[in-house]
Each structure stands twice: as C-alpha cells, then as structure tokens.
Amino acid sequence: MCVRRCWGSAKRGLFKYGFAFAGANAYRVSKIVSVRELMDSLKAEWSAAQARWTGTEDEVEAQLG
C-alpha cells in the first residue's frame, strides 16, 4: 500500500489501514480533542494566568523568584 493511501486512510480515521506520526511524548496523551477544544482551553488557561499575573514588572519578577 502506498504512503499516500495510508495518510488518506489515517486522515479519515481508518488507522487500521493507515498510520499517524507521534512524538516521544505521545504516551502522555489522555484524550484526543478537536482543534477548537484545544484553542478554547488554551485561551481559558491564558486568561486565568493573566488574571493571576497582573501587577507591576517588579511584582511579576518577585512572583517568578
């Protein structure tokens, strides 16, 4: 089976007939989420971090240690 057909199968979720690449930390994945879910989660985490880190530059430096 050619590589192009394997990639097409993987894209359609047919991993029995395809393959996907994974990095060294792939074992840490606990679930697969959509890009939308990932971006929403990252935005929420960023907003929460910004709320915690408001202050002067000196205050932020002091919090960072």
pLDDT of residue 1: 54
* Domain residue limits at 36: 29-54
Q: Is residue 15 part of a domain?
A: no
Regions of the chain with pLDDT less than 50 = none
Q: Is residue 8 part of a domain?
A: no
Q: Is residue 13 part of a domain?
A: no
Q: Name the domain count of the chain.
A: 1
Return the sign of the alpha-carbon dihedral for residues 14, 28, 32, 46.
Answer: negative
pLDDT of residue 6: 78
Residues 56 and 34: their CA atoms lie apart, in Å, by 36
Place of tokens 């971090």: 49
Q: Is residue 12 part of a domain?
A: no
pLDDT of residue 40: 95
